[in-house]
A and B are shown apart, each in its own frame.
Chain A
Amino acid sequence: DVKVTQSSRYLVKRTGEKVFLECVQDMDHENMFWYRQDPGLGLRLIYFSYDVKMKEKGDIPEGYSVSREKKERFSLILESASTNQTSMYLCASSPRQNTEAFFGQGTRLTVV
């Protein structure tokens, strides 16, 4: 069974902390994505990667960075967490052709 695993289901962090969200996929997919989901705004793309050590900005990259040192792992980093980054974060992976994305269960991050 294919799987995308996010390291935490719930996180509470303080303003100014550096936050790491980890995502691992076991499908040997080339492409990986980080989205945030907020009510009424749908899924907004933060960053994506189509190969190891490659990364591209999505629509809302400000305040975030990513790392992809291995094909199966894609990390989202909040350099200095702020309250407006409180959200649900979803990681996804897909094969090169992007015909189907598989999502992790999400991390609900609260910044206080």
Chain B
Amino acid sequence: GQSLEQPSEVTAVEGAIVQINCTYQTSGFYGLSWYQQHDGGAPTFLSYNALDGLEETGRFSSFLSRSDSYGYLLLQELQMKDSASYFCAVEGDDKIIFGKGTRLHILP
């Protein structure tokens, strides 16, 4: 089967850096994605890693280690609008499986 583990909640201060970790167990792994979901909204795509290493997109970066079945999302220069839930997702065997999500709380 497939499973993903990520923390249920993380709290950080505005302007700081926060890292959200994700470990996975899966068959047929092709890549790890990250999605953001604000309350009442739909998930929106943030990043995708197929190969080991760091991908940077503005204030957000995502890392993958295939040998460790591990990845993380790094958010820099946190803003209040970054308060949301963040989901890691594994792509494999024609389907996309999501973790349970990490609720990010940002303190002023």
Residues of A within 8 A of B (CB): 31, 33, 35, 40-45, 48, 50, 56, 58-59, 90, 92, 94, 97-106
Contacts and interface: CB of A to CB of B under 8 A. Distances in A.
B70 interface: no
Interface residues of B, number: 23
Contacts of A50: 94
B94 A100 contact: no
A42 B5 CA distance: 11
Contacts of A100: 33, 45, 48
B87 interface: yes
Contacts of B87: 42-43
Interface of B: 8, 30-31, 33, 35, 41-45, 48, 50, 87, 89, 91, 94-101
A103 B43 contact: yes
A18 B52 CA distance: 46
B96 to A, nearest CB: 6
A102 B45 CA distance: 7
A98 B42 contact: no
B98 A43 contact: yes
Nearest to B97: A45
Contact of B91 (A43, A44, A98, A102): A98
